[in-house]
Amino acid sequence: MSSVFSVSAGEVFFVACLETRMARLYRLAVERETSTLTVLEALESPVASLESSALVEALRRMSRGFLDFKKSRILILTTACLATVVSVKSLIVREDSDRELDQAELENCFTQAIWQVFDRERAAAGIKMRISDLEVAVADARLLTTALDQHVVPNPIGFMAREVLFSFELVLSPKSFLRQLYEFISEEQLVFISDRGAIYSQFLERSLAKSLEFSLLYIDERSSDFYVNGFQDWRFLGEPDL
């Protein structure tokens, strides 16, 4: 939500929800002062095929009705088969701990952290999304905090440290799905792609006492997902037999 509410007052953006047999497109406006989202228009299109290409094509058709679509920010929420969100930590040990961190090294360390997690998580993500691990790609990486030698530092540039610890969210998606999206949506437009269960978990986490844990069961006529949240560590547990 910080990405959404940091936009200019009155800016219009889109949320695309890709479900099992339905694509939905919402046109919204944001008001930062009151943290209010207003739905200006909503479209939906049933999809006969289970293929992601059919969902993306339905989204493409609906987007043609909005003149401002290609200039607006876009949020993509998907079923569990099209996105895996993992909340993780990754530790990078510096060889030259007496040298101050600069921007280039910090970015290089973060890239190393992303690929460490990707190598560790890609097999499980492939099973969840029902694809080969070779077809799994990084869709997005959202940095949460950076710690130097176990101390959180908002801006690590200029500090010396032996260990750099990154806490971040990594979004994994099928390569084919990302290619289809990028055929008509630019990477600059996409604020994020996310598994809907992870998004709902974040909203619930911010609404409940921090001492609580919860489970999330998403049910509709076409599909259902089950998640368990331990705060900053949600897990997809499968599709219940309804």
pLDDT of residue 120: 93
Q: What is the rounded average pLDDT of the residues 49-57? A: 89
Q: Quick one: DSSP state of residue 129?
A: H
**What CA–CA distance (Å, rounded) separates 12 from 72?**
7
pLDDT of residue 234: 45
Residue-wise pLDDT for 206-239, tens only, equals 666 555 666 767 666 555 666 665 434 444 455 5
pLDDT of residue 12: 79
Lowest mean pLDDT among 4-18, 22-36, 53-67, 75-89: 4-18
**What CA–CA distance (Å, rounded) separates 166 from 89?**
6
| Residue-range domain boundaries for the chain | 1-209
- Taking 50 as the threshold, does the pLDDT of residue 7 lie above it? yes
The closest of 63, 222, 94, 216 to 166, measured between CA atoms, is: 94
Token representation of residue 79: 């079923």
Residue-wise pLDDT for 174-188, tens only, equals 999 999 999 999 888
C-alpha torsion sign, points 167, 137, 236, 28: positive
Token representation of residue 207: 């609404």
Instruction: Give the amino acid at 16.
Output: A
CATH of 1-209, one of 3.30.1490.110, 1.10.3720.10, 3.40.50.1820, 3.20.20.140: 3.30.1490.110
Q: Which residue has the tokens 């509410």?
A: 5
Q: What is the DSSP string of 162-211?
A: SEEEEEEEEEEEEHHHHHHHHTTS-TTTEEEEEEHHHHHHHHHHHHS-TT
Residue 3 has phi, psi (to 5 degrees) of -65, -40
Q: Quick one: DSSP state of residue 8?
A: P
Token representation of residue 187: 């990477």
